Amino acid sequence: MKEKLVKSSIFRVIEIVTVTIISLALTPYLIKHLGDENYGLWLLILSTLGWFNFIDLGFSSAVKREIAIALEKGDNHRINVVFSVAVVLFSTLGALATSCLLLLALVPEALGININSQSTAAIALSILAFKVFLDFMMNSFHGFFTAYLRMDIDANISLLNTMVKSVMVFYLVIDLNIYGAVIATISADIITHILKIYYAKRLNNEFQFSIKFVSLTEVKHLFSYSKHLVVAGIANTILRRSDPVVISHILGLKFVALYGVINNLINQIESLVVAVVGVFNPMLNRLVARNNNIEDTFKQIIDVNFFVVIMLYAPLAILAEDFIYLWIGGEYAEHANLASILGFAYICKSISRPIGAVLLAQANHKLMSVVSLLGAIVNISLSIILALQWGLMGVAIATAVSFFLSEVVLNLWLIKRYNNFVIMRSIFKFTVLAISYISLVIIGQIVFQQLPVLSWLELIFAAGVIVITLFVFSWFLILSLHMRQQLMAMVLKKDLPIK
């Protein structure tokens, strides 16, 4: 298990780093050829596609858990049953999500899109409805790779998807504008989905789909676990996808682009964080299936989360203004202070991420939906109120407040409700983490504001110094001695039992 986790983490990191580099290179190119408003429209369209993820009704988590349990029992027949049910379920739900997107394409003004861009948005959404269907159908394969702890396969295929899509966008967007990006997205998805089917079959020769395995009883069994995640799915969608729509309605498409550039940087960092720490989630499923005590493992995972987020979010918040100025230009750099606020918001997920993984593995996730829904309501309400007063800064503050409430305060209450874990240590360490982040960002920004705009070479050097400093600082302040030993053992592939 340890070897698979390390391998999966390494390939996920390689994927995210490569995707980030490609995204950084492609963003100025898209802004140049699309213009600020059309680039904002493209970001809004992509965000809109994610609105329909909640329609999976939480079955993704249920499928991953059931396959992991079947693997522990060596039950290949059960794996095929769960997979077959998943294919039929996700195809049906995908058809529903596609229908909803096609209906939305008829009224693009509902997204706050101005009249000049509504026709383009309607056509793009109609074509991308096919992508939504394919993504739903392939959810069953994601569960398959995750349960086998082979996220490296998923990562490599996702990386190929990004590379193919980027090359096609580079050539097609010049003549076809947004439609070029749409065609590139659909084409890359088709190629990589075929590869997922191929590698799933290679991973398990007995792996197969059969309609005879599909029954209402199996659907009900999966739904008994996933039903509590439906509201959570809706709430998380609102939390992550409402900002572009609010901005489009109140401020306009150009501001969607301005906010989207900062938000995409934060999301790239979040993807890198998940690539490193997300590999522990399937491990928790396996440990719970074995009835192991997971409190110490949970504490170690939280420490790793704290260590990783301070290492990644603080440098971005400190250097955001200089980086964005060199990357895109002064107009976008004027909003770089959003990075520090959104960075704090996503640091809050270092608490909810491991707590959510534990509760899902234990099937103690009934109240997660209530917590997520409350956070979503606070987020969208505050975003509307504060956007009217402070523009993009108000939206970022609303996100930070709602994340702190839902991802930290309420998630700590959840873990204490369902487990007799000692959480004061985690609360203290998060407090230290938050104070350290805020202090380091303020000091760093003050120092770099006194300096002239950095060159690329100076920026890279400054980033290296900050990361090394944070590594030493976090290695001893956040991680326990045993955790440091455990991480070194994993990297060096030495045997060291988890306490």
Q: What is the CA radius of gyration of the chain?
A: 22
| Domain identity same for 47 and 191 | yes
Integer Cα distance of 92 and 223 in angstroms: 14
Q: Which of 147-156, 226-235, 470-479 bottoms out in mean pLDDT, i.e. has the lowest?
A: 226-235
Q: What's the pLDDT at 149?
A: 67
Q: Is residue 223 part of a domain?
A: no
Do 477 and 321 form a contact (C-beta atoms < 8 A)? no
Select the more confidently predicted residue: 463 or 217: 463
User: Could you read off the pLDDT of 144-203 as tens digits, one per residue?
Assistant: 677 666 777 777 888 888 899 999 999 999 989 999 999 999 999 999 888 888 887 777
pLDDT band of 278, cuts 50, 70, 90 = confident
Q: Is the pLDDT of residue 495 over 60?
A: no
Select the more confidently predicted residue: 62 or 409: 409
Cα distances (Å, whole numbers) of residue 45 to 62, 120, 178, 227, 420: 29, 10, 10, 28, 44
Q: What's the pLDDT at 7?
A: 64
Whole-structure pTM value = 0.80
| Domain identity same for 210 and 232 | no
Q: What's the pLDDT at 56?
A: 54
The residues, ordered by sequence, that sit 6+ positions from 130 with a Cβ below 8 Å of its Cβ are: 98, 186
| Domain identity same for 104 and 246 | no
User: Could you read off the pLDDT of 415-436 as tens digits, one per residue?
Assistant: 999 988 888 988 998 999 999 9
| Domain identity same for 419 and 451 | yes
| Domain identity same for 50 and 197 | yes
Q: How many Å from the N-terminal Cα to the C-terminal Cα in the chain?
A: 16
Q: Is residue 26 part of a domain?
A: yes
Q: Is residue 499 part of a domain?
A: no
Range of the domain at 264: 228-492
Most confident stretch, 19-23, 59-63, 309-313: 309-313
Burial of 32 (0-12, 13-18, 19+ CB in 10 A): exposed
| Domain identity same for 430 and 293 | yes
Residue of 237, 228, 227 whose CA lies nearest to 369: 228
Most confident stretch, 19-33, 61-75, 364-378: 19-33
Q: Is residue 364 part of a domain?
A: yes
Q: Which of 108-122, 157-171, 241-255, 264-278 bottoms out in mean pLDDT, i.e. has the lowest?
A: 264-278
Q: What is the separation of C-alpha 369 from the centre of its chain, rounded to a whole number of angstroms? A: 18
| Domain identity same for 138 and 251 | no
| Domain identity same for 352 and 391 | yes
Last residue of a domain, one of 214, 245, 276: 214
Q: Is residue 265 part of a domain?
A: yes
As given in the structure block, the two tokens for residue 76 are 């290949």
| Domain identity same for 205 and 243 | no
Integer Cα distance of 103 and 98 in angstroms: 9
Integer Cα distance of 370 and 496 in angstroms: 39
Q: Is residue 247 part of a domain?
A: yes
Q: What's the pLDDT at 498?
A: 41
| Domain identity same for 347 and 266 | yes
Q: What percent of the chain has pLDDT over 90?
A: 43
Q: Is the pLDDT of residue 226 over 80?
A: no
| Domain identity same for 255 and 194 | no
Q: Is residue 143 part of a domain?
A: yes
As given in the structure block, the two tokens for residue 238 are 């609102």
What's the number of domains the chain is made of?
A: 2
Last residue of a domain, one of 185, 214, 243: 214
Q: Is residue 400 part of a domain?
A: yes
